[in-house]
Structure 1
Amino acid sequence: MRRISLLLAALLALSVATPAASATPGRDVALRVMNYNIHTGIGSDGALDLARTATVIRDSGADVVGLEEVDVHWDARSDFRDEARDLAELLHMRVFFAPIYDLPPLTEGAPRRRYGVAVLSRYPILRAENHWITRLSTQDPNPVPAPAPGFAEAVVLVHGIPVHVYTTHLDYRPDPAVREMQVADTLRILSEDPGGARQVLLGDFNAEPDAPELAPLWMHLSDAWTSAEPGLTYPADVPQKRIDYVTVSPGVRALDSVVVDTLASDHRPVVTDLAVHR
């Protein structure tokens, strides 16, 4: 009996001296993310092949993926497919699709035509929102800058830690004026996030890292590109520019980054291993 009492006392002392691993607040959590402008599933060879797109994502091992140029029943270029849903099913992932455009169907009774960005996740999505930022519409023959949707936010639960994942697609035109407004809108939205310590912004920024219009972004977020290599992403066949990004807030640390050599789109995807602080 005395031996049992001594054993219980020793176990009690050990449990007080050594907290359980699940209760250790300082332990980082690993998260692999990808950003990929999928060009509506059309590769550099001009062929539509969404299964090929899914293979690139699957082979990367990414837990969370930001997608740009996603068609949902848009038109014949993507066979009127719901690409967000189809990729989620092919990859057994959850998805949040944030349309930039939401238009009536071409034929009566067909689904609405939508085009935008998306977040894929192996982890639960606690909530999601389609934010509005300034855009210059490609559907209007005489566009003027105006607020429009298509800036996705998905709160992803990673091993008990909520991480705010955003996906964006900034204006492609040579004039940076609209991108300047979009960066300002982005920073405003991120500043309103109560979980701002753990933010990951993924996207096709259509500007290189030293572009003046991106400078305000780097005052609040870090470019997660870690390699000494230039990390060029566009065009996919002979890359000349780095315009596709993984960026993180101070509560997230970049460990390693690579650009995947693939012609499944006109962009190459970026994959980054992150450490999320508890």
Structure 2
Amino acid sequence: MFGRGARLFAGAVIVACMVLLGPSSPIGAPFAGSLPVDAVRDVVPNRVMTWNLCNPCEESDVDRAAEIARHAPQVIALQEACARDVERIRDHLESLHGLVYHVEYGTVLRNWGRCGGAPWKPGAFGQAVLSAAPMTDRVLVEYPDGGSEDRGYMAVTTEVGGRSVRVFNTHLAERRQEEVRAGQAGVLAEAVARHDRAIVLGDFNAVPYAPELARMWELAEDADPRCRPSDAGTCEPTTDWNSKFDYVFLRGIAPLRHHVEHTRYSDHHLLRTDLAPS
């Protein structure tokens, strides 16, 4: 048997190793197992959501995951997303909230200023889709003209409400680049038109009556039944500057309920929609 001195020495070595190695859990999370799983539950059937995370913004991925967990959508589209952040968000959703998601990335550029990383290998930046059901047939398209920053759309096939559906996620060019956005919306609309059932999520950087969104309105309807492509429509703002820039466009699918959820973790609000059962 070891003496008391040997046991103390062994304990000191273990503590020293823990300090040197640090936690094995993702950055921004506590030691694995130090917190109980909060509100273990399943996703809400037929619920989809879109959220521009705001980047660069010094927000905790633990807080971002908690915001998503409050609504527990079947599918969530993220914009201005760093691949490392998305991975941590997914890990936190599972370890802290009991929500298990698959993830697909639609990164369009590598940007050290937005996503960090080594100067010679900056982090990947763009879109991502998290889905409770597996995803297939991922497509990533970079728009021919991104404007002031490379932009694109991604598309996946997954299940929502027990039925297969094509899901698109996009982020159009920044404000005051109307002609660029019109070209991007045209590329996106051409892809959406190939599908009888589609959900198009994202930050379009344009108000509903902006001419560049005309192609999308020809193909799909906004999940908010009061929101139409005219300044007479009653469209709830989705940003801190009281503009509607974020959309859930539906093609061949009917909405049931629509909510804009204010959040202090981004300059864009969470936009979620419950779809009518098939």
What TM-score comes out, normalization by structure 1 length?
Answer: 0.72
Paired position in structure 1 for 2:239: 234
**Counterpart among 110, 132, 136 of residue 126 in structure 1:** 136
Is 1:161 aligned with 2:172? no
Quote the offset at 1:118 in angstroms: 0.7
In 2: Cα distance, 1:126 partner to 1:174 partner: 35
Contact 1:199 1:248 in 2 (8 A): yes
In 1: Cα distance, 2:209 partner to 2:151 partner: 27
Paired position in structure 2 for 1:33: 48
Q: Please tell me the residue identity of whatever aligns with 1:86.
A: R
Matches within 5 A, 1:124-203: 124-136=134-146, 138=148, 150-158=152-160, 160-192=162-194, 196-203=195-202
Paired position in structure 2 for 1:59: 70
Query: After the TM superposition, which parts of structure 1 deviate over 6 Å for at least 4 consecutive aligned residues?
Result: none
1:11-37 Cα distance to aligned partner (Å, 9 max, x none):
xxxxxxxxxxxxxxxxxxx51010100
In 2: Cα distance, 1:268 partner to 1:134 partner: 28
Quote the offset at 1:112 in angstroms: 4.8
In 1: Cα distance, 2:70 partner to 2:162 partner: 25
Q: CA RMSD in A?
A: 2.4
* Secondary structure of residue in 1 paired with 2:91: helix
Is 1:102 aligned with 2:110? yes
Q: Please tell me the residue identity of whatever aligns with 1:233.
A: T
Quote the offset at 1:62 in angstroms: 1.1
Q: Kindly indicate whether structure 1 or structure 2 has the higher relative contact order, using CA contacts under 8 Å at least 6 residues apart.
A: 1
1:138-191 Cα distance to aligned partner (Å, 9 max, x none):
46xxxxxxxx66311111123552111110000113130001001110111223
Rate the CA distance shift 1:38–1:60 in 2: closer, same or farther, 3 A.
same
* Secondary structure of residue in 2 paired with 1:213: helix
Q: Please tell me the residue identity of whatever aligns with 1:96.
A: E
In 1: Cα distance, 2:130 partner to 2:123 partner: 20
* Secondary structure of residue in 2 paired with 1:218: helix
Report the identity percentage. 28
* Secondary structure of residue in 1 paired with 2:144: strand
In 2: Cα distance, 1:173 partner to 1:241 partner: 12
* Secondary structure of residue in 2 paired with 1:83: helix
Runs of at least 5 residues in structure 2 that lack an aligned partner in the other structure: 1-44, 94-99, 228-233
Runs of at least 5 residues in structure 1 that lack an aligned partner in the other structure: 1-29, 73-81, 140-147
* Secondary structure of residue in 2 paired with 1:178: helix
* Secondary structure of residue in 2 paired with 1:267: coil
Rate the CA distance shift 1:247–1:123 in 2: closer, same or farther, 3 A.
same
Contact 1:227 1:257 in 2 (8 A): no
In 2: Cα distance, 1:102 partner to 1:217 partner: 29
Contact 2:223 2:273 in 1 (8 A): yes
Q: Tell me whether 96-105 or 217-226 shows the greater mean CA deviation.
A: 96-105
Paired position in structure 2 for 1:212: 211
Quote the offset at 1:119 in angstroms: 0.5
1:24-76 Cα distance to aligned partner (Å, 9 max, x none):
xxxxxx5101010011483xxxx42111111111101211001000013xxxx
Rate the CA distance shift 1:232–1:103 in 2: closer, same or farther, 3 A.
closer
What TM-score comes out, normalization by structure 2 length?
Answer: 0.72
Q: Please tell me the residue identity of whatever aligns with 2:215.
A: P
* Secondary structure of residue in 2 paired with 1:210: coil
Q: Please tell me the residue identity of whatever aligns with 2:102.
A: R
Quote the offset at 1:137 in angstroms: 5.1
* Secondary structure of residue in 2 paired with 1:252: coil
In 2: Cα distance, 1:126 partner to 1:99 partner: 17
1:77-121 Cα distance to aligned partner (Å, 9 max, x none):
xxxxx012112222221111111103696445xx55210001111
Contact 1:41 1:264 in 2 (8 A): no
